[in-house]
Structure 1
Amino acid sequence: MITTDYKKIFNLDKAVLDAIDPEIHKLLSFWNSREDKITVHTSGSTGNPKKINIYKNQMIASAKNTLGYFDIKDNSTFLNCLPMKYIGGKMMLIRAILSKSKIVLYKPSVNPINQLDTEIDFIALTTLQLNYLLEKKHIFKKIKLAIIGGGLVSENLISKIQNLTTNCFQTYGMTETISHIALRSLKNCTIKTPYKCLKGVKVGANNKNQLIINSKELDIENLVTNDKVKILSNKEFLFLNRTDTIINSGGLKINPDEVENKILKSLGDNNFFIDKIKNDKFGEEIILIALKKIKIDLLIESINLIKDKKIQPKKIYIVDKFIFNDNQKIDKLKSKNYAFKLKRVHKISI
């Protein structure tokens, strides 16, 4: 862990920064240079990772949008535990620099913080990191504001944060939008709580209900996403599902996020995820992949509580671990392939 600020961080030895994350020094060198663009990796959580160019003026506009939305003052304290290889970690550091803030750096991992002695004004977490941090709820007493991204925030997870004093917001964005372009509060949140766009961002949808994003400030023009949404206005929308994760089983379109939420309601254990495999008869078949520490009898009971039998997973694959990408997200494709190749995998028909 390193405690520094927006000026001192540029004078820290490269080896000291590399011990936290080798990408920090690269970002700082870019920021101090005359270069106007930097190559950023997408996370690859929903497809093959790719590289895109992000410009300084885009990063500045995005950072100022977030700082303005939350009214973050100079000399605040930021904590970053996201990997700097990806846009989320990069933008947290740029926001801290532009707001002339103190900076606390933790080595990125799925469970990065065991103890916190400093009052934190702003932190960014993945859903997986939030899950682990909720096992140490006392830490949240020192955190004023948290933004959560990098995956589905389940109803079960939302219920766990209701009694926290920390203001928690779910983010919507991607590398192509230079981090988040919309936010929604997770306090007193329901499925009808919309995302609200940041300044200068407008949204719409095509005839397939895919979200389309525009922003002059961020230099985004008619960016069509893989996300199906319900547009409430050009500044608000409800997220429905990702079009590229929908399971088409015999013509029935199954949203894996909805199935996961139905199981979570009664199970209360999130050591699983829903996926699909090819099926000669139905085209695709819904499956469930779970860690071996999960209680199988309770899992099957929760699956059987789903009223619509057509969306119940018909097979459960048990693995000893999930595979994560560098951004602390479950790599579902690699985890699924691992499940298929693992000789100790058990198939359980429901």
Structure 2
Amino acid sequence: MKIERFHKDFKLNKVSFSSVDEILNYTRDFSDEIYQFLEIWFSKDDFILVKTSGSTGVPKEIKLLKVQMVNSALATGKYFDLKENTSVLLCLPIEYIAGKMMLIRALTLGWCLDVVEVNSNPLNGIQKKYDFSAMVPLQLENSINDLYKIKKLIVGGGVVSKQLQQKIKKSTCNIFATYGMTETITHIAVKKLNNLIVSPNFYQVLPNVKIYKDARSCLVINASEVSSEIVFTNDIVDLISDNQFDWLGRFDNVINSGGVKLHPERIEEKLSKIITARFFVAGVSDEKLGEKLVLVVEGKLEAIELKNVNLSKFEIPKEIYFVDAFIETKTKKIQRIKTLDLITF
């Protein structure tokens, strides 16, 4: 599938275009990364090669069909009711799928896309208001006072902590957590995080996405519009209905401590109510228990009162470690295994 067309209303940094050549000429002077990606996008090949983030393993390169990327863009536009001339802010790196798809959505749906330099506080200094944007949790955390500038915001690339959810509870911006991966061309499900009508709230799959569980209780995704193959994930879930699920954590993160299976993400959700710094829990080798639960905190804290959290006796960390800075991927996801390697146990 050669992409020869783009929506007539597409604008990039307020600039309109009448041909693919005009787009390429503009981006050549504006951004090498965007230019190189669009050169591939408008080439005769029916696919592109994309790198995964590497947060759950070694980064790998996978092939995505252009027609499926267009389908994904159309699904997002329909779900969030984002028609032509929607004003959108791109503040994610174009190197990875999330940034690429913001550009493809704009080209496909006729959005007015503004691109800003990628940083941890993308709304700082921005005067304009936008209909839509996408961020990672760190960017959301640093943009609390500026969220009125965005009408609808999707957040991916990490878990939005309970503490952060409390901070955005009354924001006029409608904020959604997304579930997806490079293999599914970003999100296949979303969960509203604020201005809730019904609580508790769960992930809702997009149209034409079917879900079920495998023998490990991990999510299996059948989304032929965006993936040629059925996707078997390592994400443990509870299926609430045919189109809703509750995410419990990663199968490969499960800790077996003295025969008790612990889900780090569930424990982290509880701890996020009292720990303001970045942190995670993990299992490390232990002679008695096989694995023992430890808490790893970025920076220094004077004291952590675990008694103030509703933890079962098995969920209480046996040790607490502090590291100066977590090791991250380029998309700001914490690399747990590499960070643990910094600690002497």
Cα displacement (A) at 1:310: 2.1
Distance 2:311 2:178 in 1: 31
Cα displacement (A) at 1:15: 4.8
Cα displacement (A) at 1:326: 0.8
SS at match of 1:244: helix
SS at match of 1:129: helix
- 2:214 maps to which residue? 206
Cα displacement (A) at 1:242: 1.3
TM-score (norm 1): 0.88
Correspondence 1:73 to 2:83: yes
- 1:29 maps to which residue? 39
Distance 1:279 1:304 in 2: 26
Change (3 A) 1:337 1:14: farther
- 2:328 maps to which residue? 324
- After superposition, give the CA deviation of every residue in 1:88-137 in whole Å (9 maximum; x if it has no partner): 11111111111212111122233334221111111101112111222xx1
Q: Is the 8 A contact 1:250 1:281 kept in 2?
A: yes
Which runs of structure 1 show a deviation greater than 6 angstroms over 4 or more consecutive aligned residues? none
Q: Which amino acid aligns with 2:312?
A: D
Give ranges in structure 2 of 5+ residues lacking alignment.
1-11
Q: Which amino acid aligns with 1:208?
A: R
Q: Which amino acid aligns with 1:173?
A: G
- 1:343 maps to which residue? none
Written as runs of structure 1 = structure 2, the 5 A alignment for 1:3-22 is 3-5=13-15, 7=17, 9-18=23-32, 22=33
Which region of structure 1 is more displaced relative to structure 2, 54-63 or 303-312? 303-312
Correspondence 1:58 to 2:65: no
Aligned pairs, number: 329
Cα displacement (A) at 1:305: 4.0
Distance 1:41 1:284 in 2: 32
Correspondence 1:160 to 2:167: yes
SS at match of 1:335: helix
Correspondence 1:292 to 2:296: no
Cα displacement (A) at 1:152: 1.2
Change (3 A) 1:303 1:35: farther
Cα displacement (A) at 1:167: 0.7
Taking only the aligned residue pairs, the percentage that are identical comes to 40
- Identify the match of residue 120 of structure 1 among 130, 144, 147: 130
Change (3 A) 1:304 1:276: farther
Distance 1:110 1:247 in 2: 32
Distance 2:132 2:112 in 1: 11
TM-score (norm 2): 0.89
- 1:310 maps to which residue? 314
- After superposition, give the CA deviation of every residue in 1:236-282 in whole Å (9 maximum; x if it has no partner): 222122111111111111111122222222x2504222122122222
Q: Which amino acid aligns with 1:17?
A: S
- 1:230 maps to which residue? 238
- After superposition, give the CA deviation of every residue in 1:2-54 in whole Å (9 maximum; x if it has no partner): 83457365332535313xxx3x2222111221111111111111222111101
Distance 2:295 2:314 in 1: 14
Superposition RMSD in Å: 2.1
Which region of structure 1 is more displaced relative to structure 2, 227-236 or 35-44? 227-236
- After superposition, give the CA deviation of every residue in 1:132-153 in whole Å (9 maximum; x if it has no partner): 222xx1x211101100111112
Which region of structure 1 is more displaced relative to structure 2, 125-134 or 185-194? 185-194
Cα displacement (A) at 1:176: 0.6
